[in-house]
Amino acid sequence: MNLYLMRHANAGLRRGNPLLDGKRGLIKEGKDQCMLMGRVLTALKVQIDVIVSSPLKRALQTAQFVGTEIGYDGRVEISPALGLNADYATFQAMLAQYANYEGVLVVGHNPNIFQFVGRMITGNGGAAIRMRKASIARVDMERHPPLLRWLIDPRMARSIYLSAARSPKPKSLRK
């Protein structure tokens, strides 16, 4: 399985009340991040068979926007194993449910999501992986231990798109 772990996109400032914070939706910048990261996944020819999201609004919106951008026509599944208080054992049990899929995109929150990546690739959580909002990490789950193939954040994606748009195509050599 290729596991794609995504941190939810920008949802503005955190609210002090946990009930209100759970209902916090994406702001315009967050929606733009979703569209950008969806285009990145499409450009990389990523095949997603199932999308699983945290139950919180900002993660669910991220999953839905990215899913729409990549042409995913399935239903976004919701799992508390990706919520704010989820632990690694619950996350592992959730992943086992999707073991027969080739491409799985999960959308969650920091610090859980980067801790899960670190623990998967080291076995003990010793790796410190920084995931900005709307970052996506690809982990090859067929390897033992799983292998982090890449990590892309919106800043990097935007920079690549801008440099590709500015650089002229190389001219062929004529003899």
Q: Say yes or no to pLDDT of 134 above 70.
A: yes
Is position 45 within any domain? yes
Is position 170 within any domain? no
What average pLDDT does range 114-135 have in this prediction?
A: 87
Kindly write down the DSSP assignment for every residue of 113-175, as one continuous string: HHHHHHHHHHSSS-------TT-EEEEETTSSS-EEEEEE-HHHHHHHHHHHHHSPPPPPP--
Is position 44 within any domain? yes
The total domain count for the chain is 1
Is position 171 within any domain? no
SS3 38: helix
Residue 16 is predicted with a pLDDT of 82
151/18 Cα distance (integer angstroms): 29
Is position 80 within any domain? yes
Is position 94 within any domain? yes
Is position 175 within any domain? no
> Domain range holding 47?
2-164
Residue 21 is predicted with a pLDDT of 77
Q: Say yes or no to pLDDT of 88 above 90.
A: yes
- Residues counted in the chain: 175
- CATH number of 29's domain: 3.40.50.1240
Is position 26 within any domain? yes
